[in-house]
Amino acid sequence: MTSLPASYGPFKINYNTQKEKWTMSELIAMCVQEEERLKVEKPDIAHLTITNSRKRKGNRQGGGKGSTSKIPKIGARVNSGPYCKFCRVKGHYQRECSKFKAWLTKKGIPFNPDIGKKVKSD
């Protein structure tokens, strides 16, 4: 009885409060019944984790206490020139991308060069 896990606590108390003692075969049968009861009683737990795969790309730097990160702070931009959000290549913007223009014509969408430009308000 001492080798049973803590989840069998009520079972141990029940056995100790009874006046009659069980034989080994009865004890094994009761343990099997208690195990089945615990399986039914235990709720099924599902853990769901969602990660953004774009944020996880690349090597992780540091990680320990006091380590310095080479990743710029949120809100701080690194001015590395134009960057195309369609083909993800540095050197041009999406509105100048030949692959983007070909995709638009394939889909039958008219190209508007003014889309995406910031409008200055006076």
Alpha-carbon 22 to chain mean position: 49
- Give the pTM: 0.34
Q: CA 52, CA 58: separation in Å to the nearest integer? A: 13
Average pLDDT over the chain reads 77
pLDDT, average across residues 14-42 = 83
Residue 73 pLDDT more than 80? no
Question: Per-residue pLDDT averaged across 94-109, rounded?
Answer: 91
End-to-end CA distance of the chain, in Å? 84
pLDDT surpassing 80 at residue 58: no
